[in-house]
């Protein structure tokens, strides 16, 4: 099993540009989670899906953030327009019935 | 709401020293408890877990016991190695299908 696959690993973009982060969960996992990690705020849950349906998006900072899961094998997190304060490492994780998450390696986003 | 509190770091130890990282939790139900480890530049990896009171999770020499009476899940290792240097996260899950709630993480630095 290849694990949870995130792309890109690193993204540098200019303020105001659209950024799309991608995640492929482990086959057979029915829950998918997007987290953001910064030194100041630690790990923050942004949104999670069960069976491709968004369950809780209360952690999404503002309307500039959106996430989709069109099928069981793919999810995107989009930021439009991006701002410097969005700079962070974004993690995707998947699980089956919450018996331990498997995290991807993360996308390090830098907005300049 | 549910929450996890970890001891603040960094924790600095010499090789072969005994390690304890304290973790306490607040939950309305009977949560499952987890320890995750994050090595530099990587995503979080599940280290160990316990799903009910008095269970002991163990892996790679690390142990933690689910103590319902003290709402604690302290991480211990008898003899740390330089390779154990990482950030350790305590987490809980209140029910299947919901997101894990993480503590802020504790940085461990082991020197030879």
| pLDDT average, residue stretch A22-30 | 95
| pLDDT average, residue stretch B64-86 | 97
A58 touching B, CB under 8 A? no
CA distance B38 to chain A (A): 10
pLDDT tops 70 at residue B96? no
pLDDT tops 70 at residue A99? no
pLDDT of residue B97: 60
pLDDT tops 70 at residue A1? no
Element (H, E) at B106: strand B106-111
Contact A103 B45 (CB under 8 A): yes
CB B80 within 8 A of CB B13: yes
Neighbours of A112 (CB within 10 A): 10
Contact B32 A98 (CB under 8 A): yes
- Mean pLDDT over all residues of chain A? 93
Helix (H, G, I), strand (E, B) or coil at B30: coil
Give the pLDDT confidence of B25-65 residue by residue, as tens digits: 999 888 999 999 999 888 999 999 999 999 999 999 999 99
| pLDDT average, residue stretch A57-83 | 95
Instruction: Tell me the C-alpha distance between B67 and B59, whole Å.
Output: 18
Instruction: Tell me the C-alpha distance between B24 and B72, whole Å.
Output: 4
């Amino acid at each position: 099993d290849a694990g949870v696959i995130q792309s890109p690993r690193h993204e540098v973009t200019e303020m105001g540009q659209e950024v799309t982060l991608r995640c492929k969960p482990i086959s057979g996992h029915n829950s998918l989670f997007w987290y953001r990690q910064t030194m100041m705020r630690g790990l923050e849950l942004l949104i999670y899906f069960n069976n491709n349906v968004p369950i809780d998006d209360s952690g999404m900072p503002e309307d500039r953030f959106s996430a989709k899961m069109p099928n069981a094998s793919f999810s995107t997190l989009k930021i439009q327009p991006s701002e410097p304060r969005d700079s962070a490492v974004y993690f995707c994780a998947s699980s089956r019935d919450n018996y331990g998450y498997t995290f991807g390696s993360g996308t390090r986003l830098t907005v300049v | 709401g549910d929450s996890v509190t970890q001891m603040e770091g960094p924790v600095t130890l010499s090789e072969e020293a005994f390690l304890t990282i304290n973790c306490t939790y607040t939950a309305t139900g009977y949560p499952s408890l987890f320890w995750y480890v994050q090595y530099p530049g990587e995503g979080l990896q599940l280290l160990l877990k316990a799903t009910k009171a008095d269970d002991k999770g163990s892996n790679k020499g690390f142990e933690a016991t689910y103590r319902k009476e003290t709402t604690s899940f302290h991480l211990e290792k008898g003899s740390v190695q330089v390779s154990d240097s990482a950030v350790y996260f305590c987490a809980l899950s209140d029910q299947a299908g919901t997101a894990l709630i993480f503590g802020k993480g504790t940085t461990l630095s082991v020197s030879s």
